[in-house]
Amino acid sequence: MGRARDVVRSAGIWAGIAGVVAVAVPPMVIGYPLVLVDPNRAISDWYFRTLGKALARVNPRWRLHVEGKEKLAHGAPFVLVVNHQSFADLIAMCFLDHPTKYLGKASVFEVPVFGWALRIAGEVPVVRGDRDSGRGALESLGRWLERGVSVALFPEGTRSESGEIGEFKLGAFKLAIAHRRPIVPIVLAGARELLPKGSLVFKREADIHVRVLDPFRTDDLTIDDAPRLAREVRDAMVAAYRDLPA
């Protein structure tokens, strides 16, 4: 019975999410021409952050706890590195109120409506395992940095099944060093419990924690320092993750 209740409740939550998205689509279509006069996609960025917050409130028993977002108030653009737990990660990141472009799996950009919205917002697709795609994606992210817009990457490359923070790929760190931009680690906890990888069944209650760590400067680093930087950032994130409530 418990499992059946979870499934029924999740169906209701998905229906609520679909309702929010359905209401959000017409303004996106009508406002599409604004892209022509908003090259940094600041308007669409604000709109999607507002939409993400609305989605988080579909279930009032989902609670967001954000620490340290004042660290993003000065010194942008940043390269944000985030541990990847769930599809709910992007919703949690909306509560940082920081304009950001994300690197995302190319297949997600093929999802009807959602993929179109990602492109409008200026998010960057990458084909996993394709070097040329990866190189092109980093170049696109670099252009956003040069325009003063922060970018975010999930350096594990995929969602964690265990909940522990996995090993990091080096792309985010090479990008930050190449453009002399600070790395800001963002640690998420609780999103995996809300919606585990491979599941469509939501947890009834969830506390999602978002903690912004101190920036790591890259001014004096070279590309050869990327592995060391990645280790130092990961160590800081693992320590912060273990400090957050389970």
> Does the pLDDT value for residue 135 go beyond 70?
yes
**Cβ 184 vs Cβ 69: under 8 Å:** no
> Does the pLDDT value for residue 149 go beyond 80?
yes
What pLDDT score does 210 carry?
Answer: 96
What pLDDT score does 2 carry?
Answer: 61
**Which domains, from first to last, does the chain contain?**
2-243 (3.40.1130)
* Assigned token pair, 243: 């400090």
> Does the pLDDT value for residue 20 go beyond 80?
no
**Cβ 149 vs Cβ 77: under 8 Å:** yes
pLDDT tens for 194-238 read: 776 667 777 777 889 999 999 999 999 999 999 999 999 999 999
- Strand order, beta sheet including 206-212: 62-67, 206-212, 183-189, 79-82, 150-153, 100-105, 124-126
What pLDDT score does 1 carry?
Answer: 54
Q: CA 129 to CA 197: how far, in whole Å?
A: 20
Split at pLDDT 50, 70, 90, the class of 192 is confident
Q: Give me the percent of the chain exceeding a pLDDT of 70.
A: 95
* Assigned token pair, 182: 């600070």
What pLDDT score does 245 carry?
Answer: 82
Cβ-Cβ contacts under 8 Å for 195 (sequence gap 6 or more): 86, 87, 88, 201, 202, 203
Give Cα 95 distance to the centre of its chain.
11
**pTM of the prediction?**
0.89
The whole-chain average pLDDT of the chain stands at: 88
Of 152 and 195, the one with more pLDDT: 152
Q: Taking Cα atoms as reference points, which of 235, 190, 183, 230 lies closest to residue 210?
A: 190
Q: Give me the percent of the chain exceeding a pLDDT of 90.
A: 49
**Cβ 79 vs Cβ 175: under 8 Å:** yes
What pLDDT score does 240 carry?
Answer: 97
> Does the pLDDT value for residue 16 go beyond 80?
no
